[in-house]
Structure 1
Amino acid sequence: MKFLFFAIFFYSLTAVGQYNTVVNAELLVDENTEYTAIRARASNLVEVSQDLRFVFTTFRTVPDEKNPGKVEEEGGFSLSPIEKKTLAETTISKSDTTKIIVLFLVYDVDENLIGKARWSQYDEISEEKEPLILTKEQIRDNAYNDALINGIVTQDTRTKFGNDFYKIFYAKYFVSEINAEEIINIKEILGTGRNTKIEVSVEGQLLSEFFLRPKEDYLKSMADFTINNLVRYLQNKKNINNQIERY
C-alpha cells in the first residue's frame, strides 16, 4: 500500500493582533426568508492537538436602552490536528429589527486570543440598511449554483467495493463542510487477478492510493486518511497563496 503525504507550513503568531493563523474562527451563516442561522466553527490549522477555550456572544441593542443585552456561551474544547468543530449556534428571526452582533472568540491555554469572527445583520456604515431577505427562488438558485461550483467529487469505479468507498468518502466529505472549489477525483484501477486499486486525486496531485478490501471499517479508515490529506493539501495551497500575496 502506498500513500502520499503532503507537507503543510506553519506560522507562529509573530505580532499582536494576528489572528486565525493557528486556529481559524469562523461564523457560518445560513439564511432563508424567515430566519438567519449562525454556527461558530473552529478549525485547527496545524498538525498539533490543541486545548482551547471559546466565547460565543450575541449582543442585542434595543432602541432607547443604553446598555445592550448580551447572551454568552463559553467552554473548553480540544482540536486534533487539522480538525474542525462546530461549538455553538444561534438563530435570528428576519422580523427582528434590533441591532444584533454575534462575536466568536477562541483562546489558547495561556488565555491569548488567537481566533475571532464577527457578524452583524446591519452594515457598519449605514444604520438604515435592512437585513437581507431572499425569496425561495433566489435561495434555490443560489444553492444550485454553489453545488455546481463547489464540493464536486467525480467517480470512476468498477466494482461494488469501489462504489462503497466513494459513498463513504463523499458522506465524510459532505459532513466535514470542506466544500472545496477543487474537483476531487476517485478512480478505480483494475489490477491482476481480482485485485483493484483506488486512486484519489485533486488537481493532478495524488491524495491516496490503496488496494481495495471488502471490509467497511477499512474503507472508512481510508476515507478518513484521504480527507486528512485533502485538508492538508488545501491548507498548504492557501498558505502558499497568502505568501505570494504578501510579496
Structure 2
Amino acid sequence: MKILYSRSLYTFLIFLSVHTYGQEDKKVIARLEQSPIENQIRLKAVVANNTPVYKELNYLLVSIKKGGSGNLSKNQQSGKFSINPNEVKVLSETSVNLDRADALKAFLYIRDEETQKLIAKDSVELNGDLFRKKSAKIEEEDAAFELKGLTIDETKTKVGKDFYDLFYMQYSQQPDKSNSIITISELPLRGTSGQINIQIDDKVIYSFMTNPGEDYLQEQLTYSLKYIKEFNAKKNLIKNEFIY
C-alpha cells in the first residue's frame, strides 16, 4: 500500500508539473540570444508566440556598453511587428564590440500594440561586476542613469517624423532627462489630420493635433517639454513621500 501510494503521488506530481508547464508555455516569450564572434558579441532579439491568437506587438531592444575607462555608450532599436499563433520570429540582430575590460547590458521589451502593456521581457549581462557598486542604492541609481533619455518614435507621417526629430534634438540636450522611456506616437484621425501623443510610463501626458507649420510644431515642442518636466516633478515628489 505504501509503495502504491508513493507511485500515485509521483505520477500526480509529474502530471501537475507537465500541466503547469503547458500553462506557462501558452504565452508570448521574449528571448535575447548571444553568440561571440571574435571581439564582438552578436545579440539576437527573438519572440515566440505560444498562444493560439494572432498578435500585433512592438519591441524595444536596448544595449548599454561600459568601457574599461568608464564611458557609457547606448544603442536602441524598436519597431512594430505582427506574429502568428505558435510562430517564432527574429526581431532584430546587432553586434557590439566587446573587449575583456568592457561590460554589456541588454534589455528586450515586448508590448501589446493596442494597450501598450508590457507582456514579455528578457535581459543579458556580460561582465556585470563592472556595473555593480557596493551599495544597492547606488547600483539602482546607476541603472536608472544608464536608461535615461530613451525615446521611441512611433509616428507615421512626415509631420510626425518632423516633430519627433525636433523633440529628440531638444530633449537629448536636457540635463534632467526622465528615467522612464518616452514614446512619441501618432494616431490617424478623419481626413488628413492626426493626433500626436507624448507618453511616459504608459500614460499619455500631452496630446495635440498635427499641423505642418514650423511655428506650430515649435510651440507644441515647448508644451511637450513643459508637461514632461511637470510629470517628472510630481513623480519624484510622490516617490519621496514614501521614503522614510
For normalisation by structure 2, the TM-score amounts to 0.42
Higher helix share: 2
Which of the pair has the greater relative contact order for Cα pairs under 8 Å at 6+ separation? 1
